[in-house]
Amino acid sequence: MISLVYTSVASSPFSDGDLAELLMNSRANNRRRDLTGFLMHEQGRFVQVLEGPEDVVDERYAIIAADPRHADVEVVQRETIAERRFPQWTMGYRTSVDTAAEDIPGYRRVTGAADDGTGVPDLQTAVHSMLAYLSSAEPTPA
């Protein structure tokens, strides 16, 4: 089983309705494919975590990377995991309305800010800090 974390930029603005539809479809697809994960959206930027069987995660990521709604799609972490960080969520979701991005350890570093002000020295440490925070948070209902 693997965990894959990627970032992307929306190629055009996502309305609240667009995000709700994306979440509804993602959750249904993920349930059928034994995927779990988390999605964060802030000002047109996405951070998503996908967890599950390697071939299924790779297939889902390829579809996302080819989706014209996403630009600058970049994997920031890919690792083998023994257990899921988000086992209860087919797709947890959080926006900056729920939690200011500045308050999520590692988030700014993961999304490309040179200095997120947290003193997190490298990208992998930032990803792990962000995942630890998100896995303990309650997701926003869609």
Assign residue 77 the CATH number of its domain. Answer: 3.30.70.100
70 strand-pairing partners:
10
Cα separation, 101 vs 58, in Å, equals 27
For residue 141, the model assigns a pLDDT of 45
Number of domains in the chain: 1
- 6-39 tens-digit pLDDT: 989 889 888 888 888 988 999 999 999 999 998 8
Question: Does some domain include residue 104?
Answer: no
The answer to which of 74-78, 83-87, 88-92 has the lowest mean pLDDT is: 88-92
Cα separation, 117 vs 119, in Å, equals 6
Question: Does some domain include residue 39?
Answer: yes
Asked whether the beta carbons of 15 and 9 are under 8 A apart, the reply is no
- Enclosing domain of residue 18: 2-99
- 35-55 tens-digit pLDDT: 999 888 888 888 889 999 999
For residue 130 the two structure tokens come to: 């962000």
Asked whether the beta carbons of 66 and 11 are under 8 A apart, the reply is no
Determine the length of the chain: 142
